[in-house]
Structure 1
Amino acid sequence: MKTILLATAIILAPVGMACAADIGETSPVASAYDWTGLYAGVHIGYAAGRSDFFIAGGGIGGATDLNLPLDPDGFIGGIHIGANYEMANRFVIGAEADLTYNKADGVMPLDAGGGGGFSTLLKSELKWSGAARLRAGYAFDRTLPYIAAGVAAAKYEVTAIGVGGGGGAIEIPFHDETHIGWTVGAGVEHAFTDRWIARVEYRYSDFGSQALSIAAGLPTATSVDLQTHDVRAGLSYKF
């Protein structure tokens, strides 16, 4: 009897090992990351601007028009909030809004001439910017490259700073308006946990052209425009 039991155990052992192997092979694997849901976060970066200050017939030294590049640039930082929806084919669509504080400015020296020892600086300041955008991307599990586009707004100021012979400074606001335009960009996000998502992004924004704030007192056409190139890095929390 013992011999029969031992022989049976020897015969069934390979079968049991095979069954255990099959169970290991068919065990469920972790499901892919789901991008659907709300998120909010912070971002920092650098903005390089392009801005032309134009006064028709306001040239210096015999020029017909005055057209000066102000070109503000500097560091930026802000907050964003949005929502994604991942479809069955791994395409992800979403919407996002952001608000950014800008420490971006530029200075252009303006030679007033006349030999009176008087010099003028034009200072441009991008105070804040914001956007509401639609996004679309394709998910490679936890990595999401995407493109985005939408409307954008920015508060832009241009100030003339005069320094007289006595050393006193006079500031004259030339422009203090909110510009409305559009923005387009691309980036990539990576979910390094189920909740925390890191991103890098490039964005181009065109805030259009507006008449100077003091244009009502000038008998000529005046305007200032603004475009920016942003590179941003951010961190979001998915709810």
Structure 2
Amino acid sequence: MKRLLGTLLAGTMITAIAAPAMAADLPMGDPDPYAAAPVPAERFYWTGFYFGGTLGYGWGQRDARGAGVGNFDLDSAGLNAGVHAGYNHMMAPNFLIGLEADLSYSDQSKRGAPGGVATRASSNWISTYRARAGYVMDNVMIYGTGGFAMADRKWSGAGSDSNVDFGWTLGGGVETMLSPNMTARAEYLYADFGKETFNFGGTSVRSDFDEHIGRVGVSYKF
């Protein structure tokens, strides 16, 4: 009898020890088909109006010629700072279109003495009106932009002559959403204003003008 009880007790202990290991090896059941799927993270919302400011650097190129002064270049560079406003609209999950206008102060001037004639060329502001098309990756957008531009152009010496000229502009950049209402950008614009004739103090100069702008900016989105 003692031998039987000992055998039963030993069998019970072995079963108690082996059961957890055997249970761990059993295949798990199918997941609950009615369990809620994980909620995807909310996408950044780009659609809406915005306004902001920019700060950068611009450099203008002028290839000129005139009677008595010959062919010469007066290239200038300086600060570019301004404001912008626009509207974005998401056309598809990753594609955006928009419109933007900006006005910038442009501290550009250059002095020279072609043919011995004291000459100064300058431009004090530039404004662009552009369409934008962007590819959106959550909080980052890569975009291209283009439209038309206007800027002042002034030549002076013994006298002065100035115009407000119209041209075209192309560029691109990258913009990131820092919060639901704030974005930051870095962009480049090229603007071409064609050729214009200036008459100042008895000197006549025909000059083209194109401008390159590299700048960074921030925007507040409504």
CA distance in 2, matches of 1:110, 1:54: 9
- Whether 1:180 and 2:163 are equivalent positions in the alignment is no
CA contact (8 A) 1:177 1:213 kept: no
Gaps of 5+ in 1: 1-14, 60-65, 113-119, 161-170
- Whether 1:97 and 2:107 are equivalent positions in the alignment is no
Q: 1:177 to 1:213 in 2, by over 3 A?
A: farther
- Whether 1:29 and 2:12 are equivalent positions in the alignment is no
What fraction of aligned residue pairs are identical, expressed as a percent? Answer: 34
Which residue is equivalent to 2:5?
none
- Whether 1:229 and 2:212 are equivalent positions in the alignment is yes
Q: Tell me the SS of whatever aligns to 2:96.
A: strand
Which residue is equivalent to 1:123?
120
CA distance in 1, matches of 2:197, 2:111: 20
Which residue is equivalent to 1:58?
68
Gaps of 5+ in 2: 1-27
Q: Calculate the aligned-residue CA RMSD, in Å.
A: 2.0
Superposition deviation, residue 78 in structure 1: 0.4
Which residue is equivalent to 1:109?
113
State the one-letter code of the partner of 2:213: D
- Whether 1:75 and 2:79 are equivalent positions in the alignment is yes
CA distance in 2, matches of 1:106, 1:41: 30
Superposition deviation, residue 99 in structure 1: 0.4
Q: Which has the higher strand share?
A: 2
CA contact (8 A) 2:68 2:115 kept: no
Q: Deviations over 1:163-212 (max 9, x none)?
A: xxxxxxxx421x31111100000100000101010000011110111111
Superposition deviation, residue 86 in structure 1: 0.6
CA contact (8 A) 1:191 1:198 kept: yes
Which consecutive segments of 4 or more residues in structure 1 shift more than 2 A? 109-112
CA distance in 2, matches of 1:148, 1:158: 30
Which residue is equivalent to 1:151?
148
TM-score by length of 1: 0.74
Superposition deviation, residue 223 in structure 1: 1.2
Q: Tell me the SS of whatever aligns to 2:92.
A: coil
Q: 1:222 to 1:108 in 2, by over 3 A?
A: closer
Q: Tell me the SS of whatever aligns to 1:192.
A: strand
Superposition deviation, residue 53 in structure 1: 2.5
Which residue is equivalent to 2:196?
210
CA distance in 2, matches of 1:127, 1:103: 5
Q: Tell me the SS of whatever aligns to 1:34.
A: coil
Superposition deviation, residue 88 in structure 1: 2.4
Superposition deviation, residue 87 in structure 1: 1.7
Q: Tell me the SS of whatever aligns to 1:87.
A: strand
Greater C-alpha Rg: 2
CA distance in 1, matches of 2:62, 2:75: 5
CA distance in 1, matches of 2:110, 2:151: 16
Which residue is equivalent to 2:25?
none
